[in-house]
């Protein structure tokens, strides 16, 4: 399992946008390797909050995963969408929170 820390997640976060629904996610494992644990901070209103994304290939040939926000005691919220555009930009959705990264 790969673990990615803040500098990589900062780049990853700039490529992320959250929205959508869970099991059948748009990106495909053959397209790009997102599997692993991605950690980093967001900074809403000047307060850093750590996000931890857990991403794996699913049986349907796409991606699935969860996100944790330890500071808010929030764990294993399902990712509702993961896609990669033609430029390699990653978009991730978490419908439970309406979060976009």
The residue whose two tokens read 């950690």 is 39
Do 63 and 34 form a contact (C-beta atoms < 8 A)?
yes
Taking only the tens of pLDDT, the chain with its 101 residues reads 444 454 334 444 444 433 333 334 555 555 678 899 999 899 988 999 999 999 999 888 888 999 999 999 999 999 999 988 888 888 899 999 888 77
pTM above 0.75, yes or no: no
Domain span including residue 43: 3-100
Q: Find the radius of gyration of the CA atoms of the chain.
A: 12
Residue 10: predicted pLDDT:
42
Q: How many domains does the chain have?
A: 1
Residue 100: predicted pLDDT:
72
Residue 91: predicted pLDDT:
86
Alpha carbon separation from 73 to 51, 67, 68, 77, 79 (Å, rounded) = 11, 11, 8, 11, 17
The residue whose two tokens read 């053959």 is 30
């Amino acid at each position: 399992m790969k673990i990615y820390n803040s500098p990589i997640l900062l780049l990853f976060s700039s490529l992320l946008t959250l929205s959508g629904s869970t099991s059948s996610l748009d990106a495909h494992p053959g397209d790009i390797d997102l599997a692993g644990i991605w950690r980093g901070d967001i900074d809403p209103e000047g307060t850093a909050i750590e996000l931890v994304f857990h991403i794996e290939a699913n049986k349907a040939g796409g991606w699935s995963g969860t996100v944790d926000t330890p500071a808010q005691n929030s764990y294993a919220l399902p990712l509702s969408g993961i896609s990669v555009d033609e430029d390699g930009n990653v978009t991730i959705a978490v419908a439970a929170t309406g979060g976009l990264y």
